[in-house]
Structure 1
């Protein structure tokens, strides 16, 4: 079943066109990767999907809803973790989860979410005291506290050390095991290759290739997704 349908999505800023006629479909229960270099238009696509930014053209449906016209309804059914996400330094883990739960009509039990994601021992810790890996674990818990059907994760592992990155990958796989559809935005090709069922490569606002990691590697005549990315775009991964 298709949960996200995009046809001809476009968005421009003063500096030019950020997204140019993007068309995609995301299936229920998969981890769908949107990959590309910094500035390729990935975040703009996700912000349009999640109702955080108005599109200029094209049609877009998430769970059958238009993110612009049905934003209130949609926000009750999705979770979002953006690249620049942050919380007040002094807010405690338990306070953040309780506050986010209050935003939803039918939230999960935030205490159960805290326990499931290994945060109970950190419940009294302030946000500023958490390591990068614990902050990302908290952001995932916050994205799930509303019982979402679809979760958008934008550059979730940027800035993490290799061990924390690997731990976060496990958390993302766990989300799929819960039946949540995950849209994962990344510029790490190893991450996309390890996690994603299907991938769209975006370059300069255009979708230039789409398929499973293996299909894209075959298309790029390479032995890795990073090599395929270079073959398909002519660009080094940043």
Structure 2
């Protein structure tokens, strides 16, 4: 039997019927072709035909640290970063973060964001579900031990993604808020060995910055292009 969310999507949204084929995944890097055996608006049961190993994960492991943006911008960033192959997402609180919520509200947001991650996987065909971590303070995230490349985008940096040394297999990518990181926060990221890089001559919105940087990294080191 499918989960409530999956059954709702198949039964109510797609209005699929008994005998139709579906492709399932469980986060184990495999796909499961199945046939619907019973279907209603609330419950859907399927007969799994087989298990197929089919990894479409990028060779580049990207951990996105995104300072929480207002409204639908954060949801957009999460959705598109999953489509582009990000493996881990950590929502961050910074000095200029425009979202002020209590712990309970953030827990509800986290549940909502997790559903967006799963839906994005369904849409793009990923069968490994990226991790979306609990909300953290910016400095706590920056201070975590990490054995990959650490990048902070900055419009006045001297280096670009194209000038990064090869090979790169793991990247921790920091994207600041709408108002940017403060001077103190930028100094703090330098203390934790983040390299500043430049995307181009124009200042981008936070949601545009995330998508552009992830795409550029995947073209250079991952599986795009």
Would you call these one fold, judging by a TM-score over 0.5?
A: no
TM-score (norm 1): 0.25
Give the number of the structure with larger relative contact order, counting CA–CA contacts within 8 Å between residues 6 or more apart.
Answer: 1
TM-score (norm 2): 0.26
Q: Which has the larger radius of gyration?
A: 2
